[in-house]
Structure 1
């Protein structure tokens, strides 16, 4: 019987990588375990591995498992992996094959509905990944993965940004508003899906931000501003998070969800917000040379286009 791990061993040096590199050929088995690993290598992807005849048959899925049956994702068929990979996580050294950080994203068991050289149809039963999927080979060596169940999340919204109306005076009911700086930067909505964002085409420095979200889809609202000589994304709203649209929720709920993300790095940050603090925030904006302040009603949903729920007041 051919050694199914021969190709796997040929790509790895056991003295240089913490990955399991068994010396013996695998023993046939009849288990039905699976694991999905989030792999921050040269490019972020997810590794789907299905136990089959004593090894883990593997595919690298750049955008993760599809959440909607209307969209298929690329799945690159890679070499079989040893069973010890069901629990493997850690740092593969830079310069080694697959170098980067690997974590276990999900594990569980699966049922086989069909298995052939060109098509694999399974039902995954994990804590994060569940449902019916089919992997199928296209022309050449490429494979795709298709979700056969209904969508598991709301579609990513396509929105215009919410815009403030301009007034000369601060709102009288200060306690009903949160006050934020008006940054005077370039407004940008940042959709993130599969660890990637199309906005990175214009701002390549946002790629690490998108990768940090892993498989968590989101839409951020903010501005690109120049601080200390560098472009920085200042985020002040969250319109979509982890499969759910937030636009109908009040500002307070969206703000809490945004702050829970903990966005704080050299090139992106969460904008400060001060409920009820109208005059001090306006004074601070004036002292820092900012255009003014934006007063946002605490109970307002996200309303694309100009809205009286957001008021810009010059400093």
Structure 2
């Protein structure tokens, strides 16, 4: 009988890595456990491992499991892993194979519907991952993973930014609005999916932000502004959060969800907001040399294009 773990052992030195390195596969080959590990290595990915014949047959999935049957994700077939890897989490030293942080994203059982050298069809029963999937080989180590059935999240909103209309004075019913600084920057929508964002093509420093989201999906709205001589992305709205579209929700709901993300970094921050505080915010904007303030109705949904629910008042 061939040693299914020989390739796994050849890539690891038990004196240098905390990963399990057993001498032989498990003696119980009929189990049906699975694990998905979030792996912050050279590039973020998720490792899907299915128990079969005493080992964990493994695929690295750069964008995680697809949530929509209309979109397949790449899955790279890797070496079989030992059963002890079902619960492994920790820090693999940099310089070692797979160096980086690994956490258990989900675990549970699965049902095999088909298993061949080129196609694996299965049903996951986990706490976070569930449903029918099929893995199919495309070329060499490269496979694709497809979700069967219906989508498990809202589609990403395809919208243009909501824009304020100009007004000379603050609204009389100030208590119905939140007041924010007008930053005078360049507007930017940031979609995040699978720990990645297309916005990083223009702003590479956004890769760290996207990776910090892990498997959480989001669409953020903000401006790239120059503050203190540095380029900062200031976020002030959230259109999509963890599989759910927020564009129809009132500003208060979107704002609370945005603040819960606690977005603070070297290149990004969450914009402050002051409900009902028209005069003080306008004075502060003037003192800081900002163009003015934006009044946002607390009950307004996100409306693409010019909207009377957002008002720009010059400082």
For the criterion TM > 0.5, the same-fold answer is yes
2:292 matched residue in structure 1: 292
Output the CA distance in 2 between the equivalents of 1:208 and 1:229: 21
| Deviation at residue 40 of structure 1 after TM alignment | 0.6
2:236 matched residue in structure 1: 236
Matched position secondary structure for 2:94: coil
Displaced runs of 4 or more, over 4 A: none
Matched position secondary structure for 2:146: strand
**1:42 and 2:42 matched:** yes
| Deviation at residue 29 of structure 1 after TM alignment | 1.3
1:15 matched residue in structure 2: 15
TM-score for both structures, normalised by structure 2: 0.99
Matches within 5 A, 1:270-285: 270-285=270-285
2:167 matched residue in structure 1: 167
Q: CA RMSD in A?
A: 0.8
Matches within 5 A, 1:84-103: 84-103=84-103
Matched position secondary structure for 1:71: coil
- Structure 1 alignment gaps of length 5 or more: none
1:212 matched residue in structure 2: 212
| Deviation at residue 158 of structure 1 after TM alignment | 1.2
- Structure 2 alignment gaps of length 5 or more: none
Matched position secondary structure for 1:138: strand
Output the CA distance in 2 between the equivalents of 1:36 and 1:137: 19
Matched position secondary structure for 2:247: coil
1:73 matched residue in structure 2: 73
| Deviation at residue 98 of structure 1 after TM alignment | 0.4
Matched position secondary structure for 1:70: coil
* Count of aligned pairs between the two proteins: 315
Does the CA contact (< 8 Å) of 1:4 and 1:26 recur in 2? no
Does the CA contact (< 8 Å) of 1:5 and 1:26 recur in 2? no
Does the CA contact (< 8 Å) of 2:25 and 2:83 recur in 1? no
Output the CA distance in 1 between the equivalents of 2:109 and 2:31: 9
Matches within 5 A, 1:246-285: 246-285=246-285
Matches within 5 A, 1:122-133: 122-133=122-133
2:195 matched residue in structure 1: 195
TM-score for both structures, normalised by structure 1: 0.99
